[in-house]
Amino acid sequence: MDKLSGILIGAAIVVAIVSFFFVNQNNDIIISKNNSMINNSINNSIVNNTNSTDNIINTTNITIEIKNSAFIPNIITIKKGQTITWINKDKSTHTITSDSGTELSSRTLMENQTYEHKFQFDGTYEYHCEFHRTMKAKVIVE
C-alpha cells in the first residue's frame, strides 16, 4: 500500500503542475488580449464585433485606418455626434469621398495624414477612395 500511495501522490503532483501551467497559459492569453484592448483604447479605436460585417464603436473618438488599400474597419455603426478620424497608413495617396452627396470629401491624404468628420445626422454614409474605386466602406449613424 505504501508503494501505491507514493505513486498516487506522485501522480497528483504531476497533475497539479500540469494544471498550473495550463491555467497560467490561459491567463497569459487573457493578459495578451487585454493588453491589445488597452492599446486599442489608447488609440481611441475599441471595436466590439457584433458579427462579421458590422462593428459598433463605443468611444467618442473613432479611428479608421487606411491600410493595404482598405478602410479598416470597412463597416461601422456609431452614434449621432461622434467623430471619425481616418488615418492613411499606406504609402499611396487616398481620399474619403461620399458615394453620393458631399458629406464626406477629404483632400488627398498622403501617408500618415488624417481627415476628421463629425456625424450630425442619422443615416448610412457609403464612401470610397477617389483614386481606388474598389476601396469602399460604410458608416451607419444611429
pLDDT tens digits, 45-68? 333 333 333 455 566 679 999 999
At residue 76, the 3 state secondary structure works out as strand
Helix-, strand-, coil-residue percentages of the chain, each rounded to 5: 30, 30, 40
User: Tens digits of per-residue pLDDT, 127-139?
Assistant: 999 999 999 999 9
Is 112 a residue whose pLDDT tops 60? Answer: yes
DSSP state of 109: B
Of residues 65 and 4, more confidently modeled: 65
Question: What is the pTM for the complete model shown?
Answer: 0.61
Q: Are 94 and 127 in contact (CB under 8 A)?
A: no
51, 54, 59, 65: CA torsion to nearest 10: 120
At 3, list the grid cell. 508503494
Task: Indicate the length of the chain as a whole number.
Answer: 142
In the 3-class helix/strand/coil scheme, how is 90-119 assigned residue by residue?
Answer: CCCCECCEECCCCCCECCCECCCCEEEEEC
Whole-Å CA distances, 51 to 1, 75, 120: 58, 11, 25
In CATH, the number for domain 47-141 is: 2.60.40.420
What backbone torsions phi and psi does residue 59 show, to the nearest 5 degrees?
-105, 165
Residues facing residue 62 across a β-bridge: 84
Cβ neighbours, 10 Å, residue 69: 13
Structure-model confidence comparison of residues 37 and 81, the more confident one? 81
